[in-house]
């Protein structure tokens, strides 16, 4: 991670929202470094499921899909008026308080995380399941830029170019996108992991839902699977307050400044990157990812 963020044992710098802990950035007040260190010691059950992503790579989409797969496509399971958002049922593992609740929670325990694998429970090498979703980093950058504008726990970007440089440096919560995906991909054979991309979900959501159901050992009928797909489309999720996070407190998100679910497409980066920025990004990408075996779709036209 970039040196602009100081280690949790040292003084704060200009970016007061972030804390560098063991080479990874956490959000001050949202994460407790000591608590995050305890995650690796958790006992894991065979039915535990973790969704790991770099921020803005389809996390809340996966929350919706997994909760619906578990409910066999019954949308009333997540339209519960007592539930503010899907994070109430499937919270972020690194958030303060989640670890303690996880210990005594009934099965199946499903959690999401933006952590890198070195912080995850060691017992995942023996039991439990992990789903990793990757998204093309140009679209991640744009989505993360808009998220920073609405998320009150994160620094408001000065401008797009400043944020662009921070993303390339890894000076954000989640650190470097490049390091994140490479770290998780490198351990995919050491745990029971399903790895796919955000773009595959846009291209063929039905196929991805089938893969997830199979991976989780859920025997869904064709009708149940069709219901999961139907209620996991971007259009449907925008109408479900638990899925689109519109009910989450204004103390956390300035809903006037943007939406949790903005576009959910491929290639929006073309509306934001200058030619020079795109050339610079491509140079960094080629250097960082030259031996990486997964290819990305950069434009919606490439799959239409």
Active site (catalytic) residues: 114
**CA pseudo-torsion sign 21, 49, 244, 261:** positive
The residues with which 197 forms a beta bridge, in sequence order, are: 134
DSSP 170-181: T-STT--HHHHH
- The CA angle 98-248-149, to the nearest 5 degrees, is 100
Shortest CA distance to 292 belongs to which of 175, 117, 134? 134
Shortest CA distance to 64 belongs to which of 117, 127, 112? 112
Shortest CA distance to 244 belongs to which of 259, 229, 233, 257? 259
How far apart are alpha carbons 65 and 88 in whole angstroms? 15
Angle separating helix axes 275-289 and 160-169, nearest 10 degrees:
10
Where on the phi/psi map is residue 245: left (φ > 0), alpha (ψ -120 to 50), or beta? left
- Helix H, strand E, coil C: the string for 24-38 is EEEEECCECHHHHHH
Number of CB atoms found within 10 A of residue 54's CB: 27
């Amino acid at each position: 991670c970039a040196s602009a963020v100081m280690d949790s044992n040292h003084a704060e710098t200009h970016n007061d929202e972030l804390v560098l802990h063991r080479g990874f950035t956490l959000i001050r007040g949202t994460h407790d470094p000591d608590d995050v260190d305890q995650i690796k010691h958790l006992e894991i059950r065979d039915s535990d499921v973790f969704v790991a992503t770099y921020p803005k790579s389809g996390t809340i989409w996966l929350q919706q899909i997994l909760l619906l797969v578990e409910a066999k496509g019954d949308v009333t399971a997540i339209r519960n008026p007592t539930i503010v958002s899907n994070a109430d049922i499937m919270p972020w593992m690194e958030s303060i308080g989640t670890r303690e609740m996880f210990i005594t929670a009934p099965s199946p325990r499903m959690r999401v995380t933006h952590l890198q694998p070195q912080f995850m429970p060691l017992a995942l090498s023996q039991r439990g399941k992990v789903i990793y979703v990757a998204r093309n980093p140009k679209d991640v950058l744009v989505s993360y830029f808009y998220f920073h504008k609405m998320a009150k726990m994160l620094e408001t970007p000065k401008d797009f170019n400043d944020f662009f440089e921070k993303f390339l440096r890894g000076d954000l919560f989640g650190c470097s996108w490049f390091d994140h995906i490479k770290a998780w991909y490198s351990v995919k054979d050491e745990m029971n992991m399903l790895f796919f991309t955000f773009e595959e979900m846009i291209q063929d959501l039905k196929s991805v839902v089938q893969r997830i159901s199979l991976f989780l050992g859920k025997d869904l009928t064709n009708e149940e699977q069709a219901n999961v797909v139907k209620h996991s489309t971007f259009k449907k999720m925008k109408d479900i307050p638990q899925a689109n996070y519109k009910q989450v407190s204004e103390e956390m998100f300035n809903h006037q400044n943007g939406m949790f679910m903005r576009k959910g497409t491929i290639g929006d980066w073309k509306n934001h990157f200058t030619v020079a920025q795109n050339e610079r990004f491509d140079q960094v990408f080629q250097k960082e990812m030259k031996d990486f075996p997964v290819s990305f779709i950069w434009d919606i036209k490439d799959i239409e």
